[in-house]
Structure 1
Amino acid sequence: MSLESKIRSLKAHPLIQVLADNGGNPRTLVLIEPLWGVPYNLIAPFATLYMYTQGITDVQIGLILSVTMAVQVLFSFLGGILSDKLGRKFTTMMGDFFGWVLACLVWAVSNNFWLFLAAAILNCFEQINQTAWYCLLIEDARPKDLVGIYTWVNIGGLVAIFFAPLSGLFVRSYSIVPVVRVLYFLFALTMILKTLITFRFCHETKQGKIRRAETRGISVFHMLGEYRQLIPGMLKNRGVLKAVAVSVILYVTNMVSTNFFGLYVTQRLGLSENFLALFPILNAAVILIFMIGLQHRINATKFRIPLWIGLALYVVAALVLIFSPADRLGFVLLYVFIAAVAAALVNPRKDALLQLNITPQERARLNALIMASTVALSSPFGYLAGWLSSMDRRLPFVFTLLLFVTAMFVIGRIQEPQVEER
């Protein structure tokens, strides 16, 4: 095949077509996602050990998670209101600055429980960002392209993971604390750049302009009171409730995995800290291959079947990890491989499923309400996971296994959403 033919074939790929057909905000936000994804994924494997190495206990780690998740509930409610009053674009930039730039600067100098807690609370501004960012990403996009757009968002974050060996090499040479401090500082710099690009190349969405005009002159407290009218409608929508239930479960399981996987494989299974940079690479490689090579081929099966299969794979992965013998890298690699395939199936679809079940006219506040509900329902589980880990480091993953089984039951009762062609 000639080079010209390869280029034509690449341009014809469904994922490339998604970007070609959805310019403006979706394309800009997808392309700058690595500015967040690169530093985040460099730090993520070492974040918990960074705290643990400086004397933060399992229970204190769990307490930080639960306290900050409680704060996130308030910030989530404010996210919907600010997205309507200030616009999706400005609110996204504000959340990036306070939730990541300032938070990372505090993390970079943290050396005790209170500083880590302060950084985590600052990071709660990310909840304000999340509501606005999702609206900015998809409100002017074609509904039928949502799975493709969310696939690109996942790819944007995953590409960064291939830089992970650098952090592993630096940790081996200089130890974990100084390396992670520098990475947090670099994270702050990349998020400043991301904020500036958002300001220059993104535009306010059509729905954002409408909501900004409608809410002009209305107080924040009055808009908070209007949530009382939205809540009954959300509670009556079974499709939304089921999608929220799945989101809560996946939020909790991701929180447990992110914060306790590193401790489990190093403290119980006896693997070297240097391997923590290897696991995200394998995870990213599997997901990227799956998303680029297979994702578009299974879109015809809609949502329920791929979601159910992905959750079943998560169950298998949890079993592999729980029963992994000590000092056996192969079992942990198998766990990472299976969980990566599961993530490729589940993540883009659970996000798109939620957006397709909510009313576009109230997307910002409904997203905020759903996010607040997700965080509120998840908040006790941070402390619970820390407590379980303090007794036996396998127990948090036994807990996630039970949650995945519950999610499979919920997905089995979900009806396929109707997707418009616009």
Structure 2
Amino acid sequence: MNLKAKLEKLREHPLVQVLENNPGNPRTLALIEPLWGIPYNLIAPFATLYMYTQGITDVQIGLILSIAMVFQVFFSFSGGILTDKVGRKFTTMMGDFFGWALACLVWAISDNFWLFLLAAVLNCFEQINQTAWYCLLIEDARSKDLVNIYTWVSIGGLVSIFFAPLSGLFVNAYSVVPVVRVLYLLFTVSMIIKMLITLKFCRETKQGKIRRAETKGVSVFQMLGEYRQLIPYLLKDKGALKAVAVSVLLYISNMVNTNFFGLYVTQRLGLSENYLAVFPILNAAVMLVFMVGIQHRMSVAKFKVPLWTGLVLYCAAALVLILSPVNSLVPVLVYVFTAAVAAALVNPRKDALLQLSINAQERARLNALIMASTIALSSPFGYLAGWLSSLDRRLPFIFTIALFILAMLVIGHIQDPQTEEARA
């Protein structure tokens, strides 16, 4: 097969087709996601060590996280109002600037508790960005393409993970603090470039223009008061409430796995800390192969079957980890592989299910309300998981199995949502 034929075949791939069929915001935002993902994954493994090395104590780090969570809830609520008031595009750019570019600049020069706290609070502006960004991404897209659009967003994040080992090499050569300072400065530059691309190539969505016109002359306090009607509205919408429940359960399980997997495999199973840099790369590689090679072949299955399959695989992966013998690498690799396939099945569909289940006219404020509620409802489970881990390091993963089973039961009562094209 010659090069031209190969390129033609590549253009026929559903993931390529979805970018061709959704020009503008979806294509632009999906393709520039690595501008955030690459510097984030370079810094993430060393962010806490960067603080600790400069004299920030464990208690102070915990205090920064707790204060930041309070601000995250506040900014999540504010995000819906700002997204409607000033538009999806401008709010996304504002979140990128304050939540990442400016926050990373402060992190780059931080050397005491107060500067680290300021950077963490500025980073909470990212919650505003989340609400606006999701609206900007999908509101003008074809709703039947949402799973593939979210797949592209996942791919952008996964590709970025392959750059993560580079920071480890630099840290080994030059030490943590100077390397992370430079990486934060590069993160600032990268986010400014991302913001300028958004300004140039993205446009305000149709629904964004409608909401901006509807809220013109309406005070922020009045819009904040309207949440009193929005909360009962969400609670009465059984379909949306079930989708939110699934999202919260998976958010909690991901939080537990993210925070306790490394501790479990090094402290209980006795594996070397060097493997912790390998597992994310293996996870990303498996997810990429699955998303590019298999994901599009499952479109006929809609939502329920792939979600159930993914949750069953999550349970199986957790069981493998719990039953793993000490000093054995193979079961942990099986866990990583199985969990990666499960994530490839679950994550894009979970996000698409939520967006298809909520009222499109109130998407900004509902997303903000859901995000704030998810953070607030999930916050006690970090402490619970820590307490369980202190009793037995296997218990957090037994807890996640219970969460996955509960999510399966909720999904069993969800009807596959119709796309707007199908309704028409």
| CA distance in structure 2 between the aligned counterparts of 1:162 and 1:261, rounded to whole angstroms | 19
| CA distance in structure 2 between the aligned counterparts of 1:335 and 1:280, rounded to whole angstroms | 12
Give the fraction of aligned pairs with identical amino acids, expressed as a percent.
78
Residue type of the alignment partner of 2:384: L
Q: Could you say which residue in structure 2 is the equivalent of 1:311?
A: 311
1:96-111 to 2 correspondence within 5 Å? Answer: 96-110=96-110
The answer (yes or no) to whether the contact 1:15–1:292 under 8 Å persists in 2 is yes
| CA distance in structure 2 between the aligned counterparts of 1:110 and 1:268, rounded to whole angstroms | 34
The CA deviation at 1:101 is 1.8
The CA deviation at 1:171 is 3.5
Q: Could you say which residue in structure 1 is the equivalent of 2:69?
A: 69
Q: Could you say which residue in structure 1 is the equivalent of 2:238?
A: 238
Q: Could you say which residue in structure 1 is the equivalent of 2:293?
A: 293
User: Cα–Cα, structure 1 residues 56 and 341, in superposed 2: closer, same or farther, change >3 Å?
Assistant: farther
The worse-fitting range, judged by mean Cα deviation, of 273-282 and 207-216 is 273-282
Determine which structure has greater relative contact order: mean sequence separation of CA pairs < 8 Å that are 6+ residues apart, divided by chain length: 1
How many aligned residue pairs are there?
Answer: 422
| CA distance in structure 1 between the aligned counterparts of 2:402 and 2:112, rounded to whole angstroms | 34
Q: How far does the alpha carbon of each residue in 1:347-386 deviate from its partner, in whole angstroms, 9 at most, with x for none?
A: 1000000110111111111111111111111122233334
Residue type of the alignment partner of 2:134: Y
Q: How far does the alpha carbon of each residue in 1:302-337 deviate from its partner, in whole angstroms, 9 at most, with x for none?
A: 001111111111122222233334433323222211
Q: Could you say which residue in structure 2 is the equivalent of 1:199?
A: 199
The CA deviation at 1:58 is 6.8
The CA deviation at 1:227 is 1.0
Q: Could you say which residue in structure 1 is the equivalent of 2:351?
A: 351
The CA deviation at 1:279 is 1.4
The CA deviation at 1:228 is 1.1
1:180-329 to 2 correspondence within 5 Å? Answer: 180-329=180-329
Residue type of the alignment partner of 1:264: Y
| CA distance in structure 2 between the aligned counterparts of 1:335 and 1:166, rounded to whole angstroms | 25
SS in 1 for 2:216: coil
The CA deviation at 1:64 is 4.6
The CA deviation at 1:284 is 0.9
1:12-411 to 2 correspondence within 5 Å? Answer: 12-50=12-50, 64-110=64-110, 115-411=115-411
Q: Could you say which residue in structure 2 is the equivalent of 1:8?
A: 8
The answer (yes or no) to whether the contact 1:48–1:260 under 8 Å persists in 2 is no
The worse-fitting range, judged by mean Cα deviation, of 381-390 and 123-132 is 381-390
The answer (yes or no) to whether the contact 1:68–1:121 under 8 Å persists in 2 is yes
Residue type of the alignment partner of 2:4: E
Q: How far does the alpha carbon of each residue in 1:209-250 deviate from its partner, in whole angstroms, 9 at most, with x for none?
A: 111111111110000011111111111111111111111112
| CA distance in structure 1 between the aligned counterparts of 2:201 and 2:122, rounded to whole angstroms | 26
The CA deviation at 1:14 is 0.7
The CA deviation at 1:113 is 5.7
| CA distance in structure 2 between the aligned counterparts of 1:59 and 1:319, rounded to whole angstroms | 33
The worse-fitting range, judged by mean Cα deviation, of 328-337 and 211-220 is 328-337
Q: Which runs of 5+ in 1 are unaligned?
A: none
User: Cα–Cα, structure 1 residues 335 and 175, in superposed 2: closer, same or farther, change >3 Å?
Assistant: farther
User: Cα–Cα, structure 1 residues 118 and 187, in superposed 2: closer, same or farther, change >3 Å?
Assistant: same
| CA distance in structure 2 between the aligned counterparts of 1:390 and 1:63, rounded to whole angstroms | 20
| CA distance in structure 1 between the aligned counterparts of 2:319 and 2:65, rounded to whole angstroms | 25
Residue type of the alignment partner of 1:17: Q
| CA distance in structure 2 between the aligned counterparts of 1:382 and 1:107, rounded to whole angstroms | 25
| CA distance in structure 2 between the aligned counterparts of 1:381 and 1:105, rounded to whole angstroms | 31
| CA distance in structure 2 between the aligned counterparts of 1:221 and 1:375, rounded to whole angstroms | 23
| CA distance in structure 1 between the aligned counterparts of 2:185 and 2:386, rounded to whole angstroms | 27
The worse-fitting range, judged by mean Cα deviation, of 10-19 and 60-69 is 60-69
Residue type of the alignment partner of 1:135: C
SS in 2 for 1:298: helix
Residue type of the alignment partner of 2:255: M
The answer (yes or no) to whether the contact 1:271–1:329 under 8 Å persists in 2 is yes
User: Cα–Cα, structure 1 residues 36 and 363, in superposed 2: closer, same or farther, change >3 Å?
Assistant: same
User: Normalising by structure 2, what TM-score?
Assistant: 0.92
The worse-fitting range, judged by mean Cα deviation, of 324-333 and 127-136 is 324-333
User: Normalising by structure 1, what TM-score?
Assistant: 0.92
User: Cα–Cα, structure 1 residues 181 and 314, in superposed 2: closer, same or farther, change >3 Å?
Assistant: farther
Q: How far does the alpha carbon of each residue in 1:123-143 deviate from its partner, in whole angstroms, 9 at most, with x for none?
A: 211110011000000110001
| CA distance in structure 2 between the aligned counterparts of 1:61 and 1:393, rounded to whole angstroms | 22
SS in 2 for 1:379: helix
Residue type of the alignment partner of 2:136: L
The answer (yes or no) to whether the contact 1:76–1:131 under 8 Å persists in 2 is yes
| CA distance in structure 1 between the aligned counterparts of 2:171 and 2:255, rounded to whole angstroms | 24
| CA distance in structure 1 between the aligned counterparts of 2:319 and 2:378, rounded to whole angstroms | 23
The answer (yes or no) to whether the contact 1:315–1:404 under 8 Å persists in 2 is yes
SS in 1 for 2:399: helix
The CA deviation at 1:176 is 4.3
Q: Which runs of 5+ in 2 are unaligned?
A: none
User: Cα–Cα, structure 1 residues 43 and 250, in superposed 2: closer, same or farther, change >3 Å?
Assistant: farther
The CA deviation at 1:193 is 1.2
| CA distance in structure 2 between the aligned counterparts of 1:204 and 1:15, rounded to whole angstroms | 24
Residue type of the alignment partner of 2:215: T
| CA distance in structure 1 between the aligned counterparts of 2:287 and 2:328, rounded to whole angstroms | 23
